[in-house]
Structure 1
Amino acid sequence: MIKSLESLVDLAKGKDKRKIAVAAAGDYHVLKAIHNATEHGIVEPILIGCEDDIKRISSEIKFNVKPHKVINISDPYEASLEATKLISDGKADFLMKGLVSSRLFLKAVLNKEFGLRTGSLLSHVAIFETPYYHKLLGVTDAAMNVDPDLEEKIDIIKNAVKVFHGLKNRNPKVAILGSVETINPKMEATMHAATISMMNYRKQIKGCIIDGPLALDGAISEKSAKLKHITSNVAGEADLILAPDINGANILYKSLNFLGGATSAAVIMGAKVPIVLTSRGDSEKSKFLSIALAAAIS
């Protein structure tokens, strides 16, 4: 398993250069991240969007787009459709959202004619590097699934585990969060956690070690786990955290970024290829590292 997010760049460089289709690419921060990724030699961009905007912004940031393919489509939804079609036709390896709403972008990605559906649930996987934890930490799902049921949580875990496998962690430790470590029939999150943990124990979910419910301190602090007398292969050593719902995951995501001094990279999993779908609040570094993450696992 890699030890830092900067290692994503080296991991991506170890593969053939990946082609990234950028939908509605006429965005300053997106083009800065793409420029950075091309400078590091990890992607070959195909930029779909308003050509005038792409060239104007590229000139401002001293990004020479002449060697790269630019497809002039001003409408953001149509640009998203074209980017999706490039993936479907095997002309690009992964996808990135530019200056287009997530709703329209995902509508294009999931269109029935040539979309990227696989039958799996789409989910958001973020990887954090923080000075307050001894290794990289994954969090899911902070962006896609509002209130996942038991089956959806299983799919979300499977999507995230694929990311960790791509990062050379063949058996990630997954903590399913709850407010307590005890199983309470009146608290659905604890029942889900216990069920999924037992499914993992009985090899119905493979490729990882799962335990839950675990409170956050028990999941990431060995000291807390010992004080609570938690016997677990995951407690204090979690690689990946599954939150009960989007509220908990999103709060944790933003707390790590804005209060925890973390750097992050994130992708959407469950489609035919990884999808880079960053938020407006994400830093330029986070956008670049998200591209590197997608390139490394695609």
Structure 2
Amino acid sequence: MHFETSLEFLESHTYDELNLGDTSALVRTLRPEDVKLFALMSGDMNPALANTEFRHSGLFRDFIAHGMWIASLLSTILSTQFPGPGTALMETSLQFARPVTIGDTITFTVTVRQKFAHNHHIILDCVGANQDGLVVVSGSVEVMAPTEKVRTKRAALPEITISDKYARLQVLVQRAEGLAPIDMAVVHPCDRESLRGALLAADAKLIDPILIGPEQKIRAVAEEHGLDLGPHRIVDVRHSHDAAAMAVTLVRSGDAEALMKGSLHTDELMAEVISRSAGLRTDRRISHVFLMDVPTYPRPIMITDAAVNIMPSLLEKVDIIQNAIELAHVIGVPEPKVAILSAVETVNPKIQSTLDAAALCKMADRGQIKGGLLDGPLAFDNAVSLVAAKTKGITSAVAGRADILVVPDLESGNMIAKQLEYLANALTAGIVLGASVPIVLTSRADTAETRIASCVIAALMAHAARARLKAA
């Protein structure tokens, strides 16, 4: 059997060189980007190809392949490999037996069945089988084989990435469509991005901002950058520490139902939030979640905890996971898949995070963690790639499909989140959970778009809290 090679040149097999029974095979693994690119190229956005659980955006979020993607493998093998360059497709008949899903590896085989000397036509039998040996497509094709040898340089195809951050932001904002704006205390919005983010979120009718900080400084920033403060309330305080304390006071008095960090340090705000005497503590451990929409991943993904808990204990991880699961419920994921990360996917007594992962999964089995589907330890690649999980023989409902990534510690989580944001063009939202109200906790370097995305999550959480209070 002849298999595709990575040689620099493509070379045809002429009609006279082909014999009955000669075969050739092409191997391809279906990736999420293959489905997206085929949809964009063909215009076939058939929603039946998408799992409705994850179809929240304009493109597919969990995929099976288009039938014609599978058929295109036949075109590839004929034109580049067997018979190769110079082949003309005359007629084809294919039957599709079963779907091809992300991570499936298809071996497409063609075999010479008949030859017709008068017109140099050849009929080939075609079979495509997946990694389990199950036939996904079969049929036959008639081609006119080249009569002269063709040898041509193999063209290098460019890498293509699909990314529209603005469109993804609009999709996220639409999640809060129809909800009334929430009162949000914006703590020390004394630089362009923090003030602009709050005002844009107000324009999107997500929040009614209460701007807390030195009024003169806030107005100076607005004037310098052409920002319209409009009717929004300003609470004048002397400096950032006073702003943090005032914001917590407004929440405790019922004048605000969410907080947003402005241009002050995280520790300064969180010190007031976690104060035992006058803070916003609940019986749940406070934790942080990055909600990220990554162009190369087929669904939004949460990373926790990458901003608050430095090196959480096993019991602290229980609260961290439960916080994230409840957020997933709020944003419409009824049973989130939780991947507990480590460096490896097997339990190793020398690596504490693998022991924690095993314990957390058993705790979930016993009902100590509720509302999600847990698995771990999982290495990062196994958690987010079906291809990697299948290659390593991992059978799991979570592996390759994770909605939530639970990191071993703050350092690893923060590095993952920042890499996805700055190297993968991820749309990022940051939110603190476990306090009495949601807290938009973004970096001082974050853009206004990140702050808007975070306000969407805060608004959804605040309205969910209203609904729970009303039901009680």
TM-score higher than 0.5: yes
TM-superposed deviation, 1:5:
4.8
The structure in which a higher percent of residues are helix is 1
CA separation in 2, counterparts of 1:12 and 1:63?
24
Residues 1:97 and 2:275 are matched in the alignment: no
**If the length of structure 1 is used for normalisation, what is the TM-score?**
0.95
The answer on whether the counterparts of 2:193 and 2:446 sit within 8 Å (CA) in structure 1 is no
For the pair 1:147 / 2:311, whether they are aligned, the reply is yes
**Residues in 2 aligned to 1:42 and 1:102: alpha-carbon distance in whole angstroms:** 23
Partner of residue 445, structure 2: 281
Residue segments in structure 1 that go unaligned for 5+ positions in a row: none
Corresponding residue for residue 168 of structure 1: 332
8 Å contact from structure 1 (residues 131, 262) kept in 2: yes
> What secondary structure does 1:265 align onto?
strand
Moved more, 243-252 or 111-120: 111-120
Of 64-73 and 123-132, deviating more is 64-73
Measured at CA, do residues 251 and 191 of structure 1 come closer, stay the same or move farther in structure 2, by a change above 3 Å? same
Supply the AA of the counterpart residue of 1:163.
Answer: L
Distance 1:94 1:243 in 2: 26
Match of 2:402 among 234, 238, 248: 238
Supply the distance in 1 between the matched residues of 2:356 and 2:229 (Cα, whole angstroms).
Answer: 49
Report the counterpart of residue 116 of structure 1 in structure 2: 280
Match of 1:260 in 2: 424
The secondary structure found in structure 2 opposite 1:12 is coil
Q: Tell me if the contact between 1:8 and 1:296 (Cα under 8 Å) persists in the aligned partners.
A: no
Check 1:8–1:229 CA distance in 2 against 1; reply closer, same or farther (3 A cut).
same
Letter in 2 for 1:214: L
1:11-40 deviation digits (Å, cap 9, x = unpaired): 223322101101112222111101111111
Is 1:20–2:181 an aligned residue pair? Answer: no
Partner of 1:176: helix, strand, or coil? strand
Please, which of 228, 250, 254 is the counterpart of residue 414 of structure 2? Answer: 250
Please say if 1:271 is aligned against 2:435.
yes
Q: Which amino acid aligns with 1:212?
A: G
- Secondary structure of 2:210's counterpart equals strand
The Cα offsets for residues 193-226 of structure 1, whole Å up to 9 and x where unpaired, read as 0111112123221110000001111111111111
One-letter amino acid of the structure 2 residue matched with residue 37 of structure 1? A
In 2, the alpha carbon distance for the partners of 1:197 and 1:6 equals 36
The C-alpha deviation readout for 1:156-199, integer Å capped at 9, x for no partner, is 11111121111011110000011111111221111110111112
Distance in 1 (CA, whole Å) between partners of 2:360 and 2:314 is: 8
SS, match of residue 332 in structure 2 = coil
What is residue 49 of structure 1 aligned with on the other side?
Answer: 213
- Partner amino acid for 1:120? R
Match in the other structure for 2:343: 179
Matched, 1:192 2:368: no
Unaligned residue ranges in structure 2 (runs of 5+): 1-53, 58-167, 463-472
3-state secondary structure, aligned to 2:255: coil
Letter in 2 for 1:11: R
Change (3 A) 1:155 1:5: farther
Residues in 2 aligned to 1:110 and 1:220: alpha-carbon distance in whole angstroms? 33
* Deviation of 1:280 (Å): 2.3
Larger Rg: 1 or 2? Answer: 2
| SS of structure 1 residue aligned to 2:175 | helix
Alpha-carbon deviations, 1:44-67, whole Å to 9, x = none? 011111111111222334433241
Deviation (angstroms), 1:110:
2.2
Between Structure 1 and Structure 2, which shows a larger proportion of strand residues?
A: 2
Question: Is 2:365 the partner of 1:201?
Answer: yes
Q: Within 1, Cα distance between the matches of 2:304 and 2:354?
A: 17
Q: What one-letter code is carried by the residue in structure 1 that aligns with 2:424?
A: G
- Partner Cα separation in structure 1 for residue 185 and residue 373 of structure 2: 35
Which fold has the larger relative contact order, with Cα–Cα distance below 8 Å and residues 6 or more apart in sequence?
Answer: 1
- 8 Å contact kept, 2:251–2:258: yes
Distance, in Å, in 1 between the alignment partners of 2:395 and 2:205 is 45
Q: For 2:176, what is the secondary structure of its paired residue?
A: helix
In structure 1, the residue matched to 2:198 is 34
Q: CA deviation at 1:93?
A: 1.1
User: How big is the shift at 1:108?
Assistant: 1.6
Query: Matched residues in 2 for 1:180 and 1:90: separation?
Result: 46
1:76 Cα deviation from its structure 2 partner: 1.1
Contact 1:24/1:74 (<8 A) preserved: no
1:216 maps to 2:397: no
Correspondence for 2:223 = 59
1:292 to 453, 456, 471: 456
Deviations 1:77-112 (A, max 9, x none): 111111111111111110011222222211222233
